[in-house]
Each structure stands twice: as C-alpha cells, then as structure tokens.
Amino acid sequence: AQSVAQPEDQVNVAEGNPLTVKCTYSVSGNPYLFWYVQYPNRGLQFLLKYITGDNLVKGSYGFEAEFNKSQTSFHLKKPSALVSDSALYFCAVRRLSGTYKYIFGTGTRLKVLA
C-alpha cells in the first residue's frame, strides 16, 4: 500500500534560519512526490514536485526539496525562513493506478518566529 508520513505536527523556526519539513513515503515503483502549502481558510497551493531527474527540486517562494531514494524521504527545505512562510504544509504521493489521485500526509504546521 502506498502511504506518506509527516512525522511532525508542528515545526517552529526563527526568521532567517533554515527550515526543514519532513516527509517520508512508501510506494511500489517510482514515486511521484509533491509539496503543497495551505494558508488559513484557503485551498492548497502547489509548491514543487519530483517526477524524475535531479534529486534536488526547486519550487516556488524559494523552497526546495530533496528526494532521497534510499531513505524514502522528500524533505522540504528553505535556506532562510520568512514569517510569511508560516502555514500548513502537505506532502503528497501520487497513486500508481493509472489515475491522478494523490495520497496526502496529515500536514505540518510551520511557524516562523520574528
């Protein structure tokens, strides 16, 4: 069965410091991995994806994610956090059933402190 886990409910980081939001996955075959961000009372916004190619993927708003096949991880990173990065972040893996359904993690709330 395919699954995705976000082990931290909340991550706190000081503004200007690097941030990491963790995601691990379990899939059979090649994974298709995504990160989304959600601001209060809004839908999710696409940040970045890994389909194939370079393990380091760059996305919107200065975020990047590193695909690590041996550790089955896809952690979201940013070199210098902003207060405006405070939001709920979701990792997702695409199901390999010929459809475009995704399994979402439970989300990690990022709080950047001024």
Partner 1 sequence: DGGITQSPKYLFRKEGQNVTLSCEQNLNHDAMYWYRQDPGQGLRLIYYSQIVNDFQKGDIAEGYSVSREKKESFPLTVTSAQKNPTAFYLCASSIGGGPLSDYGYTFGSGTRLTVV
Binding site for partner 1 (CB under 8 A): 9, 32, 34, 36, 41-46, 49, 51-52, 90, 92, 94, 99-102, 104-107
Closest approach of partner 1 to the CB of residue 87, in Å: 14
Three-state secondary structure of the chain? CCEEECCCCEEEEECCCCEEECCEEECCCCCCEEEEEECCCCCEEEEEEECCCCCEEECHHHCEEEEECCCCEEEEEECCCCHHHCEEEEEEEECCCCCCCEEECCCEEEEEEC
> Toward partner 1, which CB reaches closer, 46 or 61?
46
Closest approach of partner 1 to the CB of residue 85, in Å: 19
Closest approach of partner 1 to the CB of residue 12, in Å: 18
